[in-house]
Structure 1
Amino acid sequence: MNTATASNFGVAASAGGPLLGDAEFQFLRDFVYRHCGIALSEQKRQLVQGRLLRRLRALGLKEFASYCELLRKDPAGELGELASAISTNVTSFFREMHHYDLLVEQLLPRWLEEKKGGGRLRIWSAGCATGEEPYALAMVLAEALERTGSKVDARILATDLSPQALEHACAGMYALDRMGGISDERRRRWFLRGEGRYEGYACVHQRLRELVAIQPLNLLHDWPMRGPFDAIFCRNVVIYFDKPTKQRLFDRYAGLLEPGGYLFLGHSESMHGLSDAFDLVGRTVYRKRVS
């Protein structure tokens, strides 16, 4: 088959796997955009085929048409697995450290002082992936509570669409070579080193688990929580979305944040020209305007 003919019928199958045809790829593009807000360009076709081949094998399906039919019949049941397959969950503990520095040095001390009369402190890790971000937030929160002796009702909500990522986050077990962002002092304080079959891993301390509530959530669908939140971390998530989806999401975040609450984005993300509800107050740090 020559190159022109192959282009007409889709990306050539690799390693004897099934072909992702034009009709199936267009269905997947429409489905993913509608349910996940992710716009897949034609350049992503080979990536989609390669990643979904593993999913087809896991389900015992022989062709992409069968997978598309599965999505038509049970979109909710397979959505999380599809999102896991096509997105890249790259995360680490204390990624973009300047955000945590702001929390430790300014925001947490101020919030705990303001709320010591009986208020609640709530932080949302939206798109928490495998849990490194919410557990890092829990470390600095637990340390602030201990340092001040505060009895404030403080909790962190961690959500993600991917069932695989959430399973990892709930387990709270991490390979030692993935913990480079954590200081030796924090490793000793907040992790238990695995032994036996868990050699080479460490488990998060029970105190961190008590501070973090992990739940599945699709950011494009209805949200069961009402807030208000003092801060929302949505880092390296909106990079996948188009402009209208970002605008809707930022408006919804503004509706859940306290007046003067903070929204943290990833290092390559910006709210410029997308929302009038926030002011830029630091590197990828936005503060909700107080009307």
Structure 2
Amino acid sequence: MTPRRRSDIVFEESDFQRIAAFAKSEYGLHLEPSKKAMIHSRLGKRIAALNLNGFAEYDKYLKANIEAESEHFISALTTNVTNFYREKHHFEQLQADVLPKLIERARSGGRVRLWSAGCSSGPEPYSLAGSVILLCPEAPMLNIRILATDIDPFVLRRAEAAVYSDEEAKIPPGVWADQVFEKAGGKRTEFRVRSDVHSLVSFRRLNINGPWPMSGLFDVIMCRNMAIYFDSQTQQTLWRRLAEQLVPGGMLFIGHSERVSGPATALVEAAGVTAYRKRSAS
């Protein structure tokens, strides 16, 4: 059988509607019509690899093999753009104003939990861990843990490997690099995350719009540049759920183009640039 070429696969409006409806019902993803070319290209490549006859056949294949195929489907529809210490001002605020109090609590025997929601290939949670280690070298011996979640299992496997290329490991100037990577002499083409930094982070697959199995609350949640994939109602539901998952006084950091809206505004207050603090119960 001659392998199909991606360019031969027709993408009709009805195909887009089927894909968009499935992405919304299963994962809460809101696919704008402006994404049609991207969807055609990325899923067309997958359809060609499976040697299927088109999007209608892929729709049937996807629903019949949802557990195995969902990995490829999600990976094709989302863009994993991330960097170490991205939006540096958040980490500066954490190191100056948020983490010192949490570390003091941990040193007194208390529990500290941070969550990187939509962690992609790992730079965000490892940046969090590097900031913790900078202020508290003994953090792996204390009750401080970072949960890192994403829906895409491919990027989670990359994150757990904790090895990054020269391009991926670019970090803002300053002391940031030494907070995350092992030191090595000479020119490097690969950068490995320090073992103490790695030990603070646990990676889990999670559909942010599905059930959350976590039983405890968090002191810090980073959920940045994820809500842009959702419609307004789904965003508002997400903000509320995140706010409810914070301890009183806990911090929520979101993406530079995002704003908390809806019922969550009664639960959190602005506390910096795209940073929010959980209000104390009155």
- TM-score calculated relative to the size of structure 1: 0.87
Could you tell me whether the CA contact under 8 Å between 2:106 and 2:144 is conserved in 1? Answer: no
Could you tell me which residue of structure 1 aligns to residue 143 of structure 2?
153
Between the aligned residues of both structures, percent identity stands at 36
**SS class of match (2:269):** strand
Amino acid at match of 2:103: L
Q: CA deviation at 1:189?
A: 5.7
Could you tell me which residue of structure 1 aligns to residue 95 of structure 2?
104
Could you tell me which residue of structure 1 aligns to residue 158 of structure 2?
168
Question: In structure 2, how many angstroms separate the alpha carbons of the residues matched to 1:84 and 1:193?
Answer: 32
* Aligned: 1:141 with 2:132: yes
Could you tell me which residue of structure 1 aligns to residue 205 of structure 2?
216
Q: CA deviation at 1:236?
A: 0.4
Could you tell me whether the CA contact under 8 Å between 2:120 and 2:159 is conserved in 1? Answer: yes
Could you tell me whether the CA contact under 8 Å between 2:129 and 2:200 is conserved in 1? Answer: yes
Could you tell me whether the CA contact under 8 Å between 1:145 and 1:151 is conserved in 2? Answer: no
Amino acid at match of 1:258: V
**SS class of match (1:124):** strand
**SS class of match (2:258):** coil
Could you tell me which residue of structure 1 aligns to residue 26 of structure 2?
35
Q: CA deviation at 1:27?
A: 1.2
Question: In structure 1, how many angstroms separate the alpha carbons of the residues matched to 2:119 and 2:231?
Answer: 20
Q: CA deviation at 1:273?
A: 4.3
Could you tell me which residue of structure 2 aligns to residue 259 of structure 1?
248
Amino acid at match of 1:208: V
Could you tell me which residue of structure 2 aligns to residue 287 of structure 1?
277
Could you tell me which residue of structure 1 aligns to residue 61 of structure 2?
70
Could you tell me whether the CA contact under 8 Å between 2:236 and 2:261 is conserved in 1? Answer: no
Question: In structure 1, how many angstroms separate the alpha carbons of the residues matched to 2:158 and 2:184?
Answer: 16
Per-residue CA shift, 1:2-60, capped at 9, x if unaligned? xxxxxxxxxxxx96321122332211110111122121122222221011122223333
Amino acid at match of 1:206: S
Which range moved further: 108-117 or 207-216? 108-117
- 1:174-213 → structure 2 map (5 Å cutoff): 174-183=164-173, 185-188=175-178, 190-192=180-182, 200-213=189-202
Could you tell me whether the CA contact under 8 Å between 1:194 and 1:200 is conserved in 2? Answer: no
**SS class of match (1:39):** coil
Amino acid at match of 2:250: G
Segments of 5+ residues of structure 2 without an aligned counterpart are none
Could you tell me which residue of structure 1 aligns to residue 260 of structure 2?
271
Amino acid at match of 1:84: S
Question: In structure 2, how many angstroms separate the alpha carbons of the residues matched to 1:77 and 1:15?
Answer: 21
* Aligned: 1:131 with 2:125: no
RMSD: 2.4
- 1:4-83 → structure 2 map (5 Å cutoff): 16-83=7-74
Equivalenced residues, count: 275
